[in-house]
């Protein structure tokens, strides 16, 4: 950040009075420019013991498989965001069942909230961000082609919970690979 979005003046980077960390600060108008984690919401769309995956048509991870998820929009609830992202990426309609997993990914300033969801029908097709969409059974999942570690860890946890039908809310951390 170089300039204040409030007044257009150059910004400095230091600890504002009364704060506990450095931030972008406008000396001219006094605006503190907070930068906070981005919320990503998505779901595990299930139907007939299969999960709906999207093959990415955009970077990062072009051509790899993922669960439908994306950035939460302002003025949107987390469940509405997960439904919207599922429709945008897979043109699929889902019923949100319950929040399932929250992952902190501090090294990229993201928080993922994944929901369990029921796919309402077979009327799905690729959206603009997907090359293809497909239902996979657990045995068919292309584990070597999963786009993001957070999705892989969500699925591993999900398949641990599925045999007994109990899906407690899970909180985890994704660390940067060294």
Predicted confidence (pLDDT) at residue 65 exceeds the cutoff of 90: yes
Q: Residue 17 — pLDDT band, cuts 50, 70, 90?
A: confident
Q: From 3.90.79.10, 1.20.210.10, 2.60.120.10, 3.40.950.10, which CATH number describes the 38-173 domain?
A: 3.90.79.10
The CATH number for 1-35, chosen from 3.40.50.980, 3.40.630.10, 2.20.70.10, 3.30.70.1400, is 2.20.70.10
Band the pLDDT of 16: cuts 50, 70, 90: confident
What is the spatial distance between Cα 155 and Cα 160, in angstroms, rounded to a whole number? 9
pTM: 0.90
What percentage of the chain carries pLDDT values higher than 90? Answer: 93
* CA separation, residue 4 to residues 10, 27, 45, 62, 118 (Å): 6, 9, 42, 34, 44
Determine the Cα–Cα distance for residues 141 and 124; give it in Å rounded to an integer: 18
Q: Which residues contact 71 (CB under 8 A, 6 or more apart)?
A: 38, 39, 40, 41, 81
């Amino acid at each position: 950040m170089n300039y204040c979005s409030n007044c257009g003046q150059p910004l400095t980077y230091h600890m504002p009075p009364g704060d506990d960390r450095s931030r972008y600060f406008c000396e001219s108008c006094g605006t503190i420019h907070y930068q906070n984690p981005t919320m990503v919401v998505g779901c595990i769309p299930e139907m007939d013991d299969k999960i709906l995956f999207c093959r990415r048509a955009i970077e990062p991870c072009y051509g790899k498989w993922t669960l439908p998820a994306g950035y939460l929009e302002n003025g949107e609830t987390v469940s509405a965001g997960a439904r919207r992202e599922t429709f945008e990426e897979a043109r699929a309609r889902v019923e949100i069942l319950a929040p399932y997993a929250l992952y902190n990914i501090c090294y990229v300033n993201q928080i993922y909230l994944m929901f369990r969801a029921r796919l309402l029908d077979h009327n799905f097709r690729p959206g603009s961000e997907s090359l293809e969409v497909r239902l996979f059974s657990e045995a068919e999942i292309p584990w070597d082609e999963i786009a993001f570690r957070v999705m892989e860890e969500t699925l591993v946890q999900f398949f641990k919970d599925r045999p007994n039908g109990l899906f407690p809310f899970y909180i985890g951390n994704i660390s940067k690979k060294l």
